[in-house]
Amino acid sequence: MSWELQHLDLRGGAAPVADGAAPVQVVWWWDALPVGSAAYLPAELPLGDDQLRDLAARFAAEQLATRLPTFGGAAAPDSHGRPLIEPALDAVRDFVDFAAVDALAAPAQADASALAVIVCTRDRPQALAGCLAALRAQRRPPGEILVVDNSLEGSARAVAGAHPGVRWLHEPRPGLSVARNAGLRACTRPLVAFTDDDTRAHPNWTAELVDAFERHPEATAVTGLVLPAALDTEAERFFQFDMGGFGSRHVPVRFDARFFAANLALAPQVWRIGAGANMAFRRAVFDRVGGFDERLGAGAAGCSEDSELWYRILADGGVCLYEPRAVVDHHHRADWRSLRAQMRAYMRGHVAALLIQHARFGHRGNLRRALWQLPGYFLNTALDLPIRRTRRARGIVLWEQLRGWASGLAFALRPGGRRPRSY
């Protein structure tokens, strides 16, 4: 049974509706500000007025606690990247200024001409066409849209050519990091954003990214909220609900040197900063820390080229800001075969990144996570399987993760596999 996806604005008291027997996943908004999400069974709907008021008060308090300078601004993360907001919530939960929330929720108006958007693609013309249509519909058009075609035959050229103002660059050497670095060399703007060809950026995505950099001049990198575009198949729902999707935080979180230093003993969980499908950088940071490591990412180790770059940025003293106002929808893997391959690649790339980070910086926490914490996670997950509702699916994914862990070790430990490269 597929799930219904509903996007509702709490300001007007909108309530989710169950049109049939399907469960409903709701993304709650306050004007242009995503404030929360929740799943409902048909029997739980419709929500009453008291329930809607309670939701509005709770979500409003969270936004005020993490967005007003009075309470410290963007939340600091715990060791798992979760926002620490309880102290600030205590100060605002008894009095919620809804007018202040209205002001915070207004769409950003920043000029995005200083922003280049890079989309890397490989033999997915239909997905790319939808991605580019969303980018060209931005309320604040970016200064550049660059498609880096990572196919052998240049299959994206016709799609890019159908969209005026979109530049096409052919990079036949395989690898997502190779393609991203090619895009970096070709773009000319001081801010650079990346998204994937299977995403659809919300209309104010570019303005919100630029606005985040303007409001936070200390930020080196900005990531945003990645929502599911559909929950029609079992594989899509398993990735979103059982594996956590790409995260569901709806308040800003600041990752800085304090977070990095406090978590070195077991490696900072930099992958929780965001997702490569929705990330942006100040162009100058690549001159300091280098580009994407071409041993990582799709077409190489499997993934973690984004989180390994965030690791280098934090080690260099930079600041990464998660800002959920910048929203894209992502089409998750719709079938089990693709999801299994994705889970294997994610773990393979994660382990390879941990060992590469250790080789580059000598931080032993990366070894502890790869060789001690991850095996413990596998064991605990296996012991927990009998009581899980989705135990068969979780067992399949666990097997793929084990395979990915082993191949990630082999990938990084091969001769020269961890040697830092120039960019």
| 239-282 per-position pLDDT tens digit | 999 999 998 899 999 999 999 999 999 999 999 999 999 999 99
Shared-domain flag, residues 378 and 308: no
418: tokens are: 């961890």
Shared-domain flag, residues 325 and 355: no
Per-residue confidence (pLDDT) for residue 412, from 0 to 100: 76
Residue-wise pLDDT tens digits, 17-60: 888 889 999 999 999 999 999 999 999 999 999 999 999 999 99
- Structural contact between residues 207 and 110, judged by C-beta atoms closer than 8 angstroms: yes
Half-sphere exposure of 418 (CA within 13 A, CB side): 20
**Interstrand relation of 115-121 and 144-149 (parallel, antiparallel or unpaired):** parallel
**Does residue 101 sit within a domain?**
no
Q: Give the count of beta carbons closer than 10 Å to the beta carbon of residue 287.
A: 10
Which band of pLDDT confidence, cut at 50, 70 and 90, is reported for residue 422?
very low
Biggest CA-to-CA distance, the chain: 64
**Does residue 106 sit within a domain?**
no
Of the three residues 334, 363, 389, the one that is the final residue of a domain is 334
CA pair distance 275, 322, nearest whole angstrom: 10
Of the three residues 61, 96, 131, the one that is the final residue of a domain is 96
Instruction: Give the domain range for residue 408.
Output: 337-413
Shared-domain flag, residues 132 and 47: no
Per-residue confidence (pLDDT) for residue 388, from 0 to 100: 77
Any residues with CB less than 8 A from the CB of 224 and at least 6 apart, and which?
Answer: 205, 208, 209, 274, 278, 279, 322, 323, 324, 325, 326, 327, 328
Determine the average pLDDT of the residues in 384-400.
89
Shared-domain flag, residues 91 and 151: no
Determine the average pLDDT of the residues in 76-82.
85
Q: How many domains does the chain fold into?
A: 3
Shared-domain flag, residues 300 and 365: no
CA pair distance 274, 269, nearest whole angstrom: 11
CA pair distance 72, 158, nearest whole angstrom: 49
- Structural contact between residues 271 and 303, judged by C-beta atoms closer than 8 angstroms: no
Shared-domain flag, residues 353 and 320: no
**Does residue 105 sit within a domain?**
no
Query: Taking 50 as the threshold, does the pLDDT of residue 376 lie above it?
Result: yes
| Percent over 70 (pLDDT), the chain | 98
Per-residue confidence (pLDDT) for residue 423, from 0 to 100: 42
- Structural contact between residues 4 and 25, judged by C-beta atoms closer than 8 angstroms: yes
Question: What is the residue type of 87?
Answer: P
Look at 1 and 39; give whichever has higher pLDDT. Answer: 39
- Structural contact between residues 293 and 177, judged by C-beta atoms closer than 8 angstroms: yes
CA pair distance 269, 35, nearest whole angstrom: 24
Per-residue confidence (pLDDT) for residue 18, from 0 to 100: 86
**Does residue 322 sit within a domain?**
yes
Instruction: Provide the 8-state DSSP code for 234.
Output: H
**Does residue 107 sit within a domain?**
no
Determine the average pLDDT of the residues in 369-388.
93
- Structural contact between residues 147 and 121, judged by C-beta atoms closer than 8 angstroms: yes
Shared-domain flag, residues 49 and 151: no
Per-residue confidence (pLDDT) for residue 111, from 0 to 100: 98
CA pair distance 79, 330, nearest whole angstrom: 26
Query: Taking 90 as the threshold, does the pLDDT of residue 160 lie above it?
Result: yes
Residue-wise pLDDT tens digits, 276-299: 999 999 999 999 999 999 999 999
Shared-domain flag, residues 255 and 362: no
Shared-domain flag, residues 66 and 39: yes
Per-residue confidence (pLDDT) for residue 420, from 0 to 100: 47
Residue-wise pLDDT tens digits, 332-352: 999 999 999 999 999 999 999
Look at 420 and 217; give whichever has higher pLDDT. Answer: 217
Lowest model confidence (mean pLDDT) among 77-91, 226-240, 363-377? 77-91
Per-residue confidence (pLDDT) for residue 256, from 0 to 100: 97
Question: Mean pLDDT across the chain, nearest whole number?
Answer: 93
Shared-domain flag, residues 41 and 148: no
Per-residue confidence (pLDDT) for residue 416, from 0 to 100: 57
**Interstrand relation of 166-170 and 144-149 (parallel, antiparallel or unpaired):** parallel
**Does residue 9 sit within a domain?**
yes
Query: Taking 90 as the threshold, does the pLDDT of residue 81 lie above it?
Result: no
Shared-domain flag, residues 287 and 377: no
**Does residue 237 sit within a domain?**
yes
| Percent over 90 (pLDDT), the chain | 83
Look at 15 and 201; give whichever has higher pLDDT. Answer: 201
Per-residue confidence (pLDDT) for residue 418, from 0 to 100: 47
Of the three residues 31, 65, 96, the one that is the final residue of a domain is 96
CA pair distance 404, 351, nearest whole angstrom: 8
Per-residue confidence (pLDDT) for residue 339, from 0 to 100: 96
Q: Where are the beta strands (DSSP E) in 232-372?
A: 253-255, 278-282, 320-330
> Which is nearest to 4 in space by CA: 249, 237, 330?
237
**Does residue 17 sit within a domain?**
yes
Shared-domain flag, residues 28 and 168: no
